[in-house]
Structure 1
């Protein structure tokens, strides 16, 4: 066996973590994550594939240089006497791998992001610069959307509300919060988000990525320390870099490594002056979008209190999708959300809308209202977008007078467990927590990643495949996103197709029985 990520360490190939309330032993018994280690043969085959890719890539570049072959990659048209404006295609990997298999990485145009979608086939005659619709449509099961609670639909109470708000307010505001853009619907949304999370106040932003990248620099500056999970999202990475603070990473979801870095940093102080840090901010995610893992929050909170640090919790994938009330990772562990200093999340997944939020104390939110670049220098959220969030959140909270929200939350949990167990039965290696709606299936080799994508789509299964550099070199994968809108019949059909493709692509790498991952019965009621 070959280890993938250094944080996924376990003698039997499976990491056991935590779940539940108060007693450590209780949540350790219930919290279960699987990270079966990379088989040696798969690692060797993957490395060999990349070596061959690089060899042939260099040969191709030589042919381009001497004019033996025309360079068909996307390059800037140079202007006489000007330095190139950009070189986005100058990367060796993009030129020689990504460009050749765009059909696997760049998905075609699709219909409404429900449990089933129609895919419009596109063709190119100039090496992916321009596209044409071929006239063919493919009906497929959608396991590639973040539509966790199934609100990404074009009918129902949410859409009716959005339609009415569009008639009343239009589709755009054209001003920031500090000017004349802040409408009653934005005030209602801010207050509803705070109420939903159980915190004093909240502020919303029109873009989820900017919620991290533009607000982290408001919270920490030079003289501060950011301890960031090694697998945090690009928006967090950018925000941390823009802040000017010192950045240190710790192994993914590894509380021991985090404590080691905390202790060393406090002892050593700031790099040059050796003075104490002005502020220490621990930045973590509730559910990781590539690993399907859930943050061991009780351990992180213990370290926060022990070392007097702050926690910045990104709930982009966990809010709405985790916990008995859909309130994210704090709800999942039964922890008071006030234990978290900065609660961040997005509306692009479970709420089927756009934008993001930060919630916490009134003092924190008032500060961000004045100093946040995302608040001052961007237009506020479009009223129909805000209306979609309000309508879906009210359903989740049960404020619509029905139990539809609870039904969807329970259905998502059941679907995630059912689908993950089905994949284990097929004999493939699956990462993540059994309660996570993000289900990564390990494929490893770049050639097999491409083949898996094409064979799945051919059978009517739409999913996302991910490879290097978005994942470690030997951990290429397909990432399935389970939705409350998926029925048992849909999941059974998807599992049947994956079973067929697993034989074609030869990815039955798991050597552990299903019972190894499920030490005791998990209630499933599909």
Structure 2
């Protein structure tokens, strides 16, 4: 749990209050002056009411230049960011012809496969020539090629499960699968910091959803024990099914789930384990097989394993792995499989080729080298940030490194100052992160050289001094002063 100082919390709340008050005042005078220009809706209600899009108009638009920045190159260790200008106080942004060459600390290119790869690129080009850019069909109609069958086989082998099913979009994998797996009369116990795709999938399932404290096996056990004793609401009948949902690496925290403890509790109370490995598959573990590989967990103990291809494999889409019976059932019932366009053939080939590299089937040791490099880079960058005095979340070996900014005003300032110095970063504020816990999320790649990381650290350190972000250094100073007194 992140401890927020009193002064940081006070100034952050004050910033939001001031934004809200001034936004309301501006809306009042704007409506007062322009009331006669009001468009006649002929009886229709306005699609966006004033309060519904208040956050967008009065908060987001002020900082929208920090988001959706267009790039004009592949998302490698360095990326070309296109500059934009605004002539209406950031309401609209127009692209310019100026391009900045920046160190890329925002893409999920953990293993560097998004760059030109001598093994992957040639096979992807050949698949494009043979199959073209899209199947233009769902999997059950004309959208299953030999590549899709090969992909599902190698995914199951790589993850260590009997069978797999792939989808064209990672977000949909969670949001469409959970409603198929469980429904009314079932119980979903979800980690409080699970991804939005899991939240939406759980809500859409019709099952009872209970949240347990982030990464707290003891709280999970308490919830399971109480709900098994009490049963379903009102009727108190036994639950038809209980599924516990966690993530391998929590995308906004950069930390690993306590999987061995969670599995032990789920076995004790006969609950199924569903794990989202979007950020961990391919990125961690000795062989890149994710959180189970890293923590020494037998994949047979995890009932449903989900992951995406958008991070470590440099492609798009997602997958579900499990028993052959489960996958066969999903093929008959999952709407994302029945009605969604299949993953494109070049994207499928990219995944197949990158997995073969990790499995050593390209007749080289590049896969092992990439895994060692991303681990080395991540640990180096995390330790150096802490030495500089930044408050950093997450575990060693995790390529996701959040730097705490807290104050809402520091989010856009950090992003803009880094961009000026040719470092591209991602900032995360409310509602993607809690109100008081704004942060910059750094993603490290095996494609980064030590020189790239050293330059990025130099820039981040300079900006940190400018914005007063080195909270650990301030805490150490306060402790020394207190000891002297």
Q: What interval of TM-score do these two structures reach, taking the shorter chain for normalisation?
A: over 0.9
User: Deviations 1:310-350 (Å, cap 9, x if unpaired)?
Assistant: 01100000000110010000000111111100000000000
Structure 2 residue 21 is the aligned partner of structure 1 residue 59: no
Q: 2:214 aligns with which of 233, 243, 252?
A: 252
Partner in structure 2 of residue 238 of structure 1: 200
Partner in structure 2 of residue 186 of structure 1: 148
**2:51, 2:346 → 1: CA distance?**
37
Unaligned runs of 5+ in 1: 1-7, 9-34, 514-526
**2:101, 2:162 → 1: CA distance?**
46
Seen in structure 2, the aligned counterparts of structure 1 residues 407 and 41 have a Cα distance that, compared at 3 Å, is same
Structure 2 residue 243 is the aligned partner of structure 1 residue 277: no
Partner in structure 1 of residue 282 of structure 2: 320
Partner in structure 1 of residue 483 of structure 2: none
| Other structure's SS at 2:306 match | strand
| Worse overlay, 151-160 or 420-429 | 151-160
User: Deviations 1:39-91 (Å, cap 9, x if unpaired)?
Assistant: 222222211211211221221121222127999xxxx9874332334559833
**2:40, 2:366 → 1: CA distance?**
57
Structure 2 residue 354 is the aligned partner of structure 1 residue 354: no
Seen in structure 2, the aligned counterparts of structure 1 residues 246 and 381 have a Cα distance that, compared at 3 Å, is same
Partner in structure 2 of residue 13 of structure 1: none
Contact 2:147 2:348 (8 Å CA) reproduced: yes
Partner in structure 2 of residue 446 of structure 1: 408
Contact 1:111 1:117 (8 Å CA) reproduced: yes
Structure 2 residue 86 is the aligned partner of structure 1 residue 105: no
Seen in structure 2, the aligned counterparts of structure 1 residues 403 and 226 have a Cα distance that, compared at 3 Å, is same
Structure 2 residue 161 is the aligned partner of structure 1 residue 195: no
Contact 2:78 2:104 (8 Å CA) reproduced: yes
Structure 2 residue 292 is the aligned partner of structure 1 residue 330: yes
User: Deviations 1:8-40 (Å, cap 9, x if unpaired)?
Assistant: 2xxxxxxxxxxxxxxxxxxxxxxxxxx5x2222
**1:60, 1:266 → 2: CA distance?**
53
Seen in structure 2, the aligned counterparts of structure 1 residues 234 and 350 have a Cα distance that, compared at 3 Å, is same
Seen in structure 2, the aligned counterparts of structure 1 residues 88 and 240 have a Cα distance that, compared at 3 Å, is farther
**2:174, 2:50 → 1: CA distance?**
24
Q: How far off is 1:93 after superposition? A: 2.1
Matches within 5 A, 1:465-484: 465-484=427-446
Q: 1:494 aligns with which of 449, 456, 460?
A: 456
Partner in structure 2 of residue 43 of structure 1: 9
Matches within 5 A, 1:34-433: 35=2, 37-67=3-33, 79-86=41-48, 90-125=52-87, 131-433=93-395
Cα RMSD between the aligned structures?
1.9
Q: How far off is 1:427 after superposition? A: 0.4
Contact 2:119 2:362 (8 Å CA) reproduced: no
Contact 1:292 1:436 (8 Å CA) reproduced: yes
Q: When you count helix as a share of all residues, which structure comes out higher?
A: 2
| Other structure's SS at 1:204 match | strand
Aligned residues: 475
Q: How far off is 1:276 after superposition? A: 0.6
Q: TM-score, normalised by structure 1?
A: 0.87
Contact 2:254 2:394 (8 Å CA) reproduced: yes
User: Deviations 1:272-300 (Å, cap 9, x if unpaired)?
Assistant: 11101000000110001111111110011
Q: How far off is 1:125 after superposition? A: 4.1
Partner in structure 1 of residue 479 of structure 2: none
**1:48, 1:179 → 2: CA distance?**
56
Partner in structure 2 of residue 12 of structure 1: none
Contact 1:122 1:133 (8 Å CA) reproduced: yes
**1:267, 1:258 → 2: CA distance?**
14
**2:438, 2:11 → 1: CA distance?**
12
Q: How far off is 1:262 after superposition? A: 0.9
